[in-house]
Amino acid sequence: MENAKVRIEELTSLLNYHNHKYYVDDAPEISDFEFDALLLELERLEEQYPELRKPDSPSQRVGGEAAKAFAEVVHAVPMQSLQKAFSREEIYDFDRRVREIVPDAVYVVEHKIDGLSVSIEYENGILTRGSTRGDGNVGEDITANIRTIRSVPLRLSEPVPYLEVRGEVFMSNANFERLNAVLEETEQPLFANPRNAAAGSLRQLDPKIAAQRGLDIFVFNIQRIEGHEITSHIDGLRYLKKLGFKTILNDRVFTTIEDAYQEIERIGAERGSLGFGIDGAVVKVNDFISRAALGTTEKFPRWAIAYKYPAEKQKTVLRDIKIQVGRTGVLTPLAILDTVRIAGSNVSRATLHNYDYIKQKDIRIGDTVVIEKAGDIIPAVVEVLTEARSGDEKVFVMPQRCPECGAEVVRAEGEAAYRCTGITCPAQRLRNIIHFVSRPAMDIDGLGASNVEKLAENGLIIDAADLYYLDFDRAVELPGFGEKWAENLKKSLERSKTNPLYRLIFALGIRHIGEKAAKVLAARYKTIEAFMDAKTEEMAELNDVGLVMAESVAEFFRQPQNTEFVDRLRFAGVSCEDDTKEAADTRFAGKTFVLTGTLEKYKRAEAAKIIEGFGGKTSSSVSKKTDYVLAGAEAGSKLTKAQALGVTIITEDEFEEMIISK
């Protein structure tokens, strides 16, 4: 929580600065890609910790006014869902019910797009409102975000007095992969599938973010229309296409359910090659008079049904299990398969998730396995055909050393993931360098993610220690760099050499060691050498450290590459000692403060620094051990908990009296 708070404050400051440079000064200093990556990171953190979101957060306003909330929209025509069928028999039962009322029913069959259903309204041919389906009766006004979808016409080809259409907003497979690549680059959770990505993008409060996501839409129904008469579904789609909408127009009609079901199967066979997700096909009665005769239930129309396709599965042989090392050091097992075609593409690799998954399913090298595409996107091994075993299959064992760098692989108690502990591991190097130079760590300006990547790609740095030995003559020749950048970076590197020891400890990126723990460790051990040689049991007894952190430190310094990395920093002149003076005034010694709400006189970081300067501690959560809760405006659950526990609550004025009095 504390690390998230620091990072949110850092991102908020950084994004507000670059936003001003771009939109006010017209002098951008970073690329759109870098800006988007920072913004995505902030949004994810604020979603995880909504209590840390500030009114001035760039997620609320970036380059323009963002909506504070979506207004409610009451649908004049309810946006009903469809009854579902999962078998041929259920489709035939639907036909039987229809023909009891409409004996000569004619059907249309169309793709069921895997996206988000929306309503779009036009007056005199001009787009006036877009809204989500919501619960079918009440949705949310997302007009600004709908306008960002390039396939939505803002003006129709004819000035229709009034028109309301229904469509499905989706994200193409290509745009989904691009978006997840950005999220992976910034070490954020990935979207599970294109539908989730489309949903998250369409409900962004800031339309500029929605615009960057590359959303698309197929319009499939006329909800209401004035000034033009439509008598059938096919006529409606033709007219919508003429007005400028993107539709999947299929002029075919089917007089028998047998022919309609064959079309369902045909659509199912092509779904892997469409470039966008579908999760079924929809059978509809074409004629509107027939629809009126059939009517609707409270939940869905009686004139339509959605056939849901099962996930496609295929058998193949698992030839090997390879290990991929991710940017965060997590080792992920990957199945190497005999190539098989599934959901429209050739698959020769599939995820095995983690070692526990392999053991649970008893997956062995040489097994015949069943794979499927989860959400028709990510191939996964879902079943082992043990009856096909010959006895030559091999049990897989996770490596004890990282296949990328040879460092020790560890698995923390209670976690599924195995991790590499090497700071110079090639798979992690960009992440480690970016963390090392970040503001809470060594605070080296001029080294954003793209600059670090450029230096690494051109062989100028392999790890963060290389920054102190950088060949500036070669660096300035790279695109986007120059003499002024080099001069500023040299100064920043020199400044970083005199940083307090806790910054260096934090910059090493030791798992579980955040900024607060780094301060405790620096204050206790005073030099990097003493810290590296510290006994695990002794370290575990320190407040705010504990056994998990202590063991993580020990694992880190067991790796020769990590101790060599520290030696290179020391040789470059980076300070490895703590010169922090003991607090002369320790009035808050042994006291723990929790800060909550909006403070008027101090920023939270400033108040925390004052408390620590007087020998006290700050915590992110309230407990019986909390001595004081400093409560500002709009204090929430922490204040309530403090009141329930009987913790002393102080105002800013009372806090000020405590720090100025003797």
Q: Check if the beta carbon of residue 350 is closer than 8 Å to that of residue 317.
A: no
328 exposed, middle or buried (CB, 10 Å; 0-12, 13-18, 19+)? middle
Catalytic option among 112, 373, 519, 638:
112
Give the tokens for residue 306: 């959605």
Cα 382 to Cα 52, 86, 362, 497, 502, distances in angstroms = 39, 21, 11, 52, 46
Q: Tell me how far apart the terminal alpha carbons of the chain are, to the nearest angstrom.
A: 33
Give the tokens for residue 616: 């006290």
Q: Kindly report the number of other CB atoms within 10 A of residue 551's CB atom.
A: 18
Please state, in angstroms and rounded to a whole number, the distance separating the CA atoms of residues 648 and 630: 9
Q: Check if the beta carbon of residue 577 is closer than 8 Å to that of residue 526.
A: yes
Q: Kindly report the number of other CB atoms within 10 A of residue 301's CB atom.
A: 18
- CA 64 from centroid of its chain's CA atoms: 23
Cα 159 to Cα 122, 156, 234, 309, distances in angstroms = 9, 6, 21, 39
72 exposed, middle or buried (CB, 10 Å; 0-12, 13-18, 19+)? exposed
Tallying the residues shown for the chain, one arrives at 662
Q: Check if the beta carbon of residue 397 is closer than 8 Å to that of residue 355.
A: no
Please state, in angstroms and rounded to a whole number, the distance separating the CA atoms of residues 109 and 91: 12
What is Dmax (Cα atoms) for the chain? 94
The candidate with the shortest Cα–Cα distance to 503, out of 521, 481, 476, 491, is: 521
Q: Nearest 10 degrees: CA dihedral of 133, 139, 141, 144?
A: -20
Give the tokens for residue 228: 């033009």
Q: Is-catalytic flag, 112? A: yes
Q: Check if the beta carbon of residue 62 is closer than 8 Å to that of residue 209.
A: yes
Alpha helices in 276-412 (DSSP H): 288-294, 355-361
Please state, in angstroms and rounded to a whole number, the distance separating the CA atoms of residues 551 and 539: 9
**SS3 of residue 14 by DSSP:** helix
At residue 315's C-alpha, the angle toward residues 314 and 321, to 5°, is: 110
Give the tokens for residue 249: 């127009």
**SS3 of residue 433 by DSSP:** helix
The candidate with the shortest Cα–Cα distance to 282, out of 298, 300, 297, is: 300
Give the contacts of 269 (CB within 8 A, at least 6 positions apart).
none
Q: Is the dihedral of CA 343, 345, 346, 348 positive or negative?
A: negative
The candidate with the shortest Cα–Cα distance to 267, out of 91, 446, 519, is: 91
Q: Kindly report the number of other CB atoms within 10 A of residue 488's CB atom.
A: 12
Please state, in angstroms and rounded to a whole number, the distance separating the CA atoms of residues 407 and 425: 8
Residues noted as catalytic: 112
